[in-house]
Amino acid sequence: MPGYMPALYENKMTSSGENLLTAIVPLMKLLSLTVIGLVLAHPKAQMIPRATFRLLSKLVFALFLPCLIFTELGQSITLQNIALWWFIPVNVLFSTVIGCFLGVAVVLICRPSPQFNRFTVIMTAFGNTGNLPLAIVGSVCHTKHSPFGPHCHSRGVAYVSFAQWVAVILVYTLVYHMMEPPMQYYEIVEEGTEIEEHPISDVSIPLLVEAEWPGIEEKETEHSKTPFVARIFNSISSISQTTFPDLDLAEGNSSSPRSIRCLAEPRVVRRIRIVAEQTPVQHVLQPPTLASLLAIIIGMVPQLKAFFFGYDAPLSFITDSLEILAGAMVPSVMLILGGMLSEGPKESTLGLRTTIGITVARLLVLPLCGIGVVALADKLHLLVQGDAMYRFVLLLQYTTPSAILLGAIASLRGYAVKEASALLFWQHVFALFSLSLYIVIYFKLLAYI
C-alpha cells in the first residue's frame, strides 16, 4: 500500500507527458517542413528560385488539394452524414461573426487610421479554414498514439473540406466588397498602386499573393481597384466626376411615358443588382470547391460511390492514383508557407498597436470564444456524439491565423497590400506558439466536451 500512491503519481505524470508530446510533436513536424521551405527559398541561400515555389502553389491549388478533398470527403460523406455534420459550416459563420465583433473591439481600442478600419475587422474575422487545418489534421493523425482513433485522417479531412465552401463564398462576396479602397482615401490608395498599371513579371509578384490563388493578376476587372460599391450607394459625394466616371444609374429617360416609368426598376434595387453583377461569384468554382461538390454528389449517391470507392470498385484505380497525389499536399503547403515567410514582413503603415491587437484577438481571444461555442453546442446536443475529431476541427476553426487568401484579395482590390503581407507574416510566426498552446488545451478538453 505505501508504494501504491507513488506508482499512481508516476503513472499520471507519464500519461500527462505522453498527452503533451502527442499534442506538440505534430506541430514540430509542420514547423520542420516550414523551416525547410524557408531555408530553400531564403534570398541569401537561393537554393530554389521563387518561381519554383510559385509553380508548387499552383500544383497545390489545382491538383494536390482537390485530390485530397475528393478522395477523403467522397469516401466519408453520405446523406446521413450531411444531416449530422450541419454544424460544421454553421460554425464557420459563428467564428466569422464573433471575429467581426472582436475586430470592431480592436478598432475601438487600438484606433488605427480610419482607412484601415474595415481591414482590421476583416483580418480579425476571417481565418484559414482550408490548407492549414488540413495540414494540422494530417500531422496529428500521423502520430503513433493519436487520440482520435481509427480513420482519423479520413474523418478529419472530410470535416475540414465540408466547411471550405462556406468560407470560399464569404471571401468572394462579403470580403471582396469590404476590401475595396475606402472612397475618402481613394486618391491615396490610387497613388500607391499606380505601378500596377504596367505589366508585372511573375517573379516580382510576392509569393503571398499567389499562395492560395494562383493567377490572380488575370482576375482583375474594371472595378477591382476602385471603391465601386461606395460610388453606387453614395448619392452625394465630394469626389469629382472626372475621378469617378458615371455608372449610368439613371432610371430612365425623362421623356419616357408615365406607364414605362412606373414599371421602371427602383433605384435601390438597380444598385443592388449592379453590385451583384460585379461580385466575382464565378471565382467560387475553383478546383478545391469543385472537388468538394463532386465528392458530395458522388458520396450521396450509393450507386456512384460504389464505382469509385472500395476495394472492388471498378474505378478504384483512379481514386488510388488521386490518393497518391493527395499525399503531396501537406508537405507542399508547409514548404510554400516557409517560402512565403522567407520574404520577411513588408513595410506597413498599420501601426504596431493595431498589429498586436489583431494578432492577440485572432490567435488568443477568439479560440477562447470558440471553446465556449463548442462546449455550448455540445450541451445542446448539436454535435456528433463521441467524435473527438469532429470537436477538434470545430475548435481549429477559431484557432488558425488570418487566411492567406486575404492577402490575394487585398492585392486584387489594391487596398492595404503591404499591411496584409506584414500582418500575415507576424500572425503565422506567432501562430506557432498559440497553436501549440491551444492544441494542448484542446487535447485536455476533448475528454470533457
Q: How confident is the model at residue 208 (pLDDT cuts 50, 70, 90)?
A: low
Q: Which residues contact 428 (CB under 8 A, 6 or more apart)?
A: 337, 340, 341, 401
Greater confidence (60 vs 217) lies with 60
pLDDT at 170: 85
Measured between alpha carbons, how far is 284 from 289 in angstroms, rounded to an integer? 7
Measured between alpha carbons, how far is 147 from 389 in angstroms, rounded to an integer? 9
pLDDT at 325: 92
pLDDT digits (tens, 9 = 90+) for 6-54: 443 334 434 455 556 666 777 888 888 888 888 888 877 778 887 788 8
Q: Which residues contact 410 (CB under 8 A, 6 or more apart)?
A: 119, 179, 416, 417, 419, 420
Alpha helices by DSSP H, 279-416:
287-300, 302-308, 316-326, 329-342, 352-360, 366-379, 388-396, 405-413
Alpha helices by DSSP H, 172-255:
176-178, 186-192, 207-210, 228-233
Cβ-contact 341, 77 below 8 angstroms: no
- Provide the whole-model pTM: 0.80
Residue 323, all three cell numbers: 490518393
Cβ-contact 428, 342 below 8 angstroms: no
Asked if pLDDT for residue 69 goes beyond 80, the answer is: yes
- The rounded Cα 173 to chain-centroid distance in angstroms is 14
pLDDT digits (tens, 9 = 90+) for 299-311: 888 888 888 888 8
pLDDT at 237: 43
Residue 177, all three cell numbers: 466588397
Greater confidence (337 vs 248) lies with 337
Measured between alpha carbons, how far is 62 from 67 in angstroms, rounded to an integer? 9
Q: Give the per-residue SS3 of 291-324.
A: HHHHHHHHHHCHHHHHHHCCCCCCCHHHHHHHHH
pLDDT digits (tens, 9 = 90+) for 247-266: 555 444 444 454 444 555 56
Cβ-contact 365, 437 below 8 angstroms: no
Q: What is the set of domains in the chain, with CATH numbers?
A: 25-183+205-214+278-448 (1.20.1530)
Q: How confident is the model at residue 224 (pLDDT cuts 50, 70, 90)?
A: low
Weakest mean pLDDT among 17-21, 121-125, 196-200 = 196-200
Q: Would the CA dihedral through 378, 380, 382, 386 be positive or negative?
A: positive
Degrees to nearest 5, angle at CA 365 with 363 and 368: 105
Question: Letter for the amino acid at 257?
Answer: P
Measured between alpha carbons, how far is 31 from 56 in angstroms, rounded to an integer? 19
Quickly count: other Cβ atoms within 10 Å of residue 403's Cβ. Answer: 25
Q: Would the CA dihedral through 24, 434, 330, 165 be positive or negative?
A: positive
* Residues forming beta bridges with residue 127, ordered by sequence position: 402
CA distances to 31, 48, 98, 330 from 36, in Å:
9, 11, 35, 13
pLDDT digits (tens, 9 = 90+) for 147-180: 787 788 889 999 998 888 888 888 878 888 788 7
